[in-house]
């Protein structure tokens, strides 16, 4: 991976889960992302239009996830990677998606995936 833009601890309340009781509540999901992006042009020109705008990425993720319902965090992770790659032109995303509280005896449960844009 070249340069990257990182977002850690991006939290959203969402309908997520396979059990009937989970379909009636929202649960916290937490995203940690590393997105491949050449930061040199933005740094050289000191120009936000050449940067990967982490506020825009965060907003897109929050809107998408809060407006959609999924059963599996694996599905959410895949769809969010697709969103970032297609909407923002990112070539590679490493995403860790946590569902704290899913297993009461564990501090956290999560999936971690790496996806690349089609060549």
Q: Which residues are catalytic?
A: 99
Q: How far apart are CA 26 and CA 33, in angstroms?
A: 22
Q: How far apart are CA 57 and CA 29, in angstroms?
A: 16
Q: Determine phi and psi for 90, rounding to 5 degrees.
A: -80, 135
Q: How far apart are CA 49 and CA 31, in angstroms?
A: 24
CA-to-CA dists, residue 63 to 4, 39, 59, 83, angstroms: 23, 25, 6, 11
């Amino acid at each position: 991976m070249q340069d990257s833009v990182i977002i850690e601890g991006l939290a959203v309340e969402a309908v997520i889960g396979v059990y009937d009781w989970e379909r009636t509540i929202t649960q916290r999901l937490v995203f940690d992302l590393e997105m491949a992006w050449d930061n040199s042009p933005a740094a050289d020109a000191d120009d936000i239009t050449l940067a990967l705008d982490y506020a825009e990425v965060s907003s897109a993720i929050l809107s998408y996830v809060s407006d959609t319902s999924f059963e599996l965090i694996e599905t959410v992770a895949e769809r969010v990677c697709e969103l970032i790659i297609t909407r923002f032109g990112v070539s590679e995303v490493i995403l860790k998606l946590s569902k704290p509280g899913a297993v009461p005896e564990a501090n956290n449960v999560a999936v971690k995936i790496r996806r690349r844009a089609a060549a």
